[in-house]
């Protein structure tokens, strides 16, 4: 009986995830330019060999690692601080604060990108005007290689912050009040209760957010990259999600694009399995 309940979800997953994945695996062994008048040509593993020789592959992989590291403060550190502060605010005002923090998540990524393009405009943007008060020269946020990637991180982190805060706030609501009261009776200070009781009991949620950040940072940054930098300047903002898109829908090299998708799928599968083992080993649950 339990398997019948999850059968619709399994069917939907098979149709919308694994069936396209099998199609991608098949296309990775062919050379094709998406034109229906052209017949796909079997090339074997040539697409994989061609992909490995591309210098953009290493750059995209390195950038994705930087995106993960850059988004960790916005997915774990800052949301944890905000969730702990909001946990002390009761009543309707706490609900209002959570709604305001969550509001950027509801904004469409393209709309957010347009607004931030205006804010970060090198000549008329209010951010550069504010920096000018401190005698800091205008910064071309999306065309200067040293800062372009971190500008994408900041915008994506701004959108991610509300989602992470909501998840951690939900995790805090499950922390045992009896454990906190017992620690208080034993003379533990507020900081000691947070460090030795709250954070250990929140470890499953924190590790879950770590899992999401590692696996989905490339997906979260993709619409911002596509709207603001298109992977530039000089591939300094591309990532492992944007690179297959460029191969498939800009260069019309579907075979190499599919090969990149399969390789990245395998890498993320291994990472997901490793992080799941990490969650099972280091998560602390209230008995």
The predicted-structure confidence for 26-82, as pLDDT tens digits, reads as follows 999 999 888 888 888 999 999 999 999 988 899 999 999 999 999 999 999 999 999
Question: Which among 274, 248, 273 is positioned nearest to 260, based on CA atoms?
Answer: 248
CA–CA separation, 204 and 117 (whole Å) = 37
Residue 238 lies in a domain: yes
User: Residue written as tokens 């939907």?
Assistant: 12
Domain presence at residue 8: no
The answer to whether the CB of 265 falls within 8 A of the CB of 27 is no
φ, ψ for residue 186 (rounded to 5)?
Answer: -75, 0
Q: Is residue 205 part of a domain?
A: yes
Contacts of 149 (CB under 8 A, 6+ apart): 63, 66, 67, 70, 236, 237
Residue 192, domain member (yes or no)? yes
pLDDT of residue 112: 92
Within a domain: 56: yes
Q: What pLDDT score does 223 carry? A: 93
Indicate the DSSP class of residue 42: E
**Per-residue pLDDT, 101:** 86
pLDDT (0 to 100) of residue 279: 84
Residue 127: inside a domain: yes
CB neighbours of 161 closer than 8 A, spacing ≥ 6?
74, 78, 79, 82, 101, 104
Which structural domain, as residue segments, surrounds residue 98?
38-282
pLDDT of residue 201: 87
**pLDDT, the chain, mean:** 89
Looking at the domain assignment, is residue 173 inside a domain?
yes
234 within a domain of the structure (yes/no): yes
pLDDT of residue 70: 95
Quote the pLDDT of residue 128.
Answer: 87
Sign of CA dihedral 280, 281, 282, 283: positive
Q: How far apart are alpha carbons 259 and 76 in whole angstroms? A: 33
**Separation CA 233–CA 246 (nearest Å):** 14
Q: Which residues of the chain have pLDDT under 50?
A: none
pLDDT of residue 286: 63
* Single pTM value for the model: 0.90
Number of separate domains in the chain: 1
Q: What is the CATH number of the domain that holds 243?
A: 1.10.3720.10
pLDDT in tens, 18-41: 999 999 999 999 998 888 888 889
- Alpha carbons 33 and 253: distance in angstroms, whole number: 5
CA 153 – CA 74 distance, rounded (Å): 9
DSSP 38: S
CA separation for the pair 175, 206 (Å, rounded): 13
Q: For residue 177, what pLDDT is reported?
A: 82
């Amino acid at each position: 009986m339990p398997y019948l309940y999850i059968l619709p979800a399994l069917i939907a997953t098979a149709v919308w995830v694994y069936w396209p994945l099998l199609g991608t695996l098949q296309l990775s062994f062919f050379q094709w330019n998406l034109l229906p008048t052209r017949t796909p040509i079997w090339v074997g593993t040539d697409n994989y060999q061609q992909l490995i020789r591309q210098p953009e592959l290493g750059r995209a992989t390195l950038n994705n690692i930087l995106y993960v590291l850059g988004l960790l403060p916005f997915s774990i550190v800052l949301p944890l601080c905000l969730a702990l502060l909001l946990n002390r605010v009761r009543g309707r005002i706490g609900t209002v604060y959570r709604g305001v923090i969550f509001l950027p998540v509801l904004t469409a990524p393209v709309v957010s990108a347009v607004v931030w393009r205006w804010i970060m405009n090198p000549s008329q943007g209010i951010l550069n005007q504010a920096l000018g008060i401190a005698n800091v020269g205008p910064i071309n946020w999306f065309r200067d290689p040293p800062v372009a990637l971190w500008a994408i991180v900041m915008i994506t982190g701004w959108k991610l912050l509300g989602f992470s805060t909501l998840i951690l706030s939900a995790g805090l609501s499950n922390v045992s009040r009896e454990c906190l009261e017992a620690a208080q009776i034993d003379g533990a200070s507020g900081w000691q209760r947070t460090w030795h009781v709250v954070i250990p009991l929140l470890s499953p949620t924190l590790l879950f957010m770590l899992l999401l950040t590692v696996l989905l940072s490339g997906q979260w940054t993709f619409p911002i990259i596509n709207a603001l930098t298109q992977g530039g300047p000089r591939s300094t903002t591309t990532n492992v999600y944007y690179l297959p898109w460029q191969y498939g829908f800009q260069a019309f090299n579907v075979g190499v694009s599919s090969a990149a998708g399969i390789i990245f799928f395998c890498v993320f599968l291994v990472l997901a399995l490793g992080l799941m083992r990490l969650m099972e080993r280091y998560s602390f649950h209230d008995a």
